[in-house]
Amino acid sequence: MKDTFVGLGDMLISFSPPGYRRFLQADTMDVSYTGAEANVCFSLAMLGAKTRFVTRLPDNDIARCAVNKMKGFGIDTSAIAYGGDRMGVIYTEKGAAQRPSKVIYDRGGTSFARIKETDLDWDAVFADAAWFHFTGITAALSGNTRRLCLRACREAKARNITVSCDLNYRKKLWSEQTARQVMSQLMQYVDVVIGNEEDAERVLGIKAANSDVISGKLSNSDYEHTAGEIMGQFGVKKVAFTMRRSLSASDNEWSAMFFDQGKVCYSRTYTIHIVNRVGGGDAFSAGLIYSLMNGFEQQKAVEFAAAASCLKHSIELDVNLSTVNEVMTLVNGDGSGRVQR
């Protein structure tokens, strides 16, 4: 049965100072494992979906810790390739108030950045697959991973698998120019494009009229225009945007827009006092993919995805540990945070 979600991307070890400590104040760090596509996998597994995560990892104990975590969520890790020298490392300092979160990447020369197309058994990668998801980060890492994305998209389409892509622009990984060139080529295989206010402009070169990326004050018509352009230029059928308004690192407004074949739906807007915003976009992708894999109608899909990612902001580390019940409670209007006892 074709019922499995497949995520393909990097898996990093993530170190972060406890609480709101800055790097300079940290003699211990919290350890977790992260990666845009991996986080989507974790989220979907929490929601009860069948999931597979594919990457390339070195053959050492740190990588084993990461794989064990995934297995613990019931994610199929059997298609992971082993080899190379190192996992990527990411250092995250959590922001608060007017101080933004800070991220230090150490992801050069990793086992994944050096992956070759032939390292993977593509039949194993896509066995029983109904959905394939990747992000712009994977395309950004290296020439090898760019080729990998292309190959994966082709393998997926050849198997009639739905393909989604979170644009996920990271300016520390590549220039806008390279991003545009690479991503434009990949778009032809993509059925569902996911992004935020920055991505469309920086990755696809589609600029909204009155954008103010820093404050996130875009009008709905800006978003609709941008989505229309994406669909027109690349033949994409579905486009979803998260819309963040950053009041500060501690307080955000958060909502989403979902464009499906000419029709647009908006989710409710959440005012969120943030515990940790990292992974909010991945949680949205997971929520949307879950909705579409389960045939939710368009409005319910965008509400489910927005609520899932809203809840992520209340959760430490990068993964959305919310269940379908928890998301649906919020979709149905209870954001009161009352104790259940």
**282-341 residues near a copy of itself, rule: CB under 8 A:** 307, 310-311, 313-317, 321-322, 326, 330, 333-341
**Nearer CB in complex with a copy of itself: 1/214:** 214
**Nearer CB in complex with a copy of itself: 10/93:** 93
Kindly state whether residue 270 participates in binding a copy of itself, applying the rule CB under 8 A: yes
- Write down the residue that tokens 């103010």 correspond to: 212
- Supply the minimum distance, in Å, between the C-beta of residue 49 and a copy of itself: 15
Only segment of 11-19, 139-147, 200-208, 296-304 that touches a copy of itself (CB under 8 A): 11-19
Q: What is the CA angle 38-111-320, rounded to 5?
A: 15
Residue 122 makes CB contacts below 8 A (sequence gap 6+) with: 151, 155
**DSSP state letters, 180-225:** HHHHHHHGGG-SEEEE-TTHHHHHH----TT--TTTT---HHHHHH
| Beta-strand pair 12-16/88-93 | parallel
What residues are paired with 53 via a beta bridge?
7
Residues between 100 and 119 that touch a copy of itself (CB under 8 A):
100-106, 108-109
What residues are paired with 195 via a beta bridge?
241
Q: At what angle do helices 324-331 and 298-312 cross, to 10 degrees?
A: 110
- Supply the minimum distance, in Å, between the C-beta of residue 277 and a copy of itself: 7
What x-and-dash track marks residues 64-103 binding a copy of itself by CB under 8 A? xx--xxxxxxx----------xxx-x-x-x-xxxxxxxxx
- Supply the minimum distance, in Å, between the C-beta of residue 21 and a copy of itself: 5
Only segment of 115-123, 185-193, 269-277, 292-300 that touches a copy of itself (CB under 8 A): 269-277
Q: At what angle do helices 36-46 and 280-293 cross, to 10 degrees?
A: 50
**Nearer CB in complex with a copy of itself: 1/24:** 24
Spell out a b/e string for 220-233, using b for 16 or more CB atoms within 10 Å of the CB, else e: eebbbbbbebbbee
- Supply the minimum distance, in Å, between the C-beta of residue 35 and a copy of itself: 13
Which of 144, 184, 185, 250 is close enough to bind a copy of itself by CB under 8 A? 250
**Nearer CB in complex with a copy of itself: 7/84:** 84
- Supply the minimum distance, in Å, between the C-beta of residue 268 and a copy of itself: 11
CB 186 within 8 A of CB 199: no
**Nearer CB in complex with a copy of itself: 162/168:** 168
Compute the distance between CA of residue 219 and CA of residue 239 in angstroms, rounded to an integer: 17
Which of 123, 128, 251, 297 is close enough to bind a copy of itself by CB under 8 A? 251
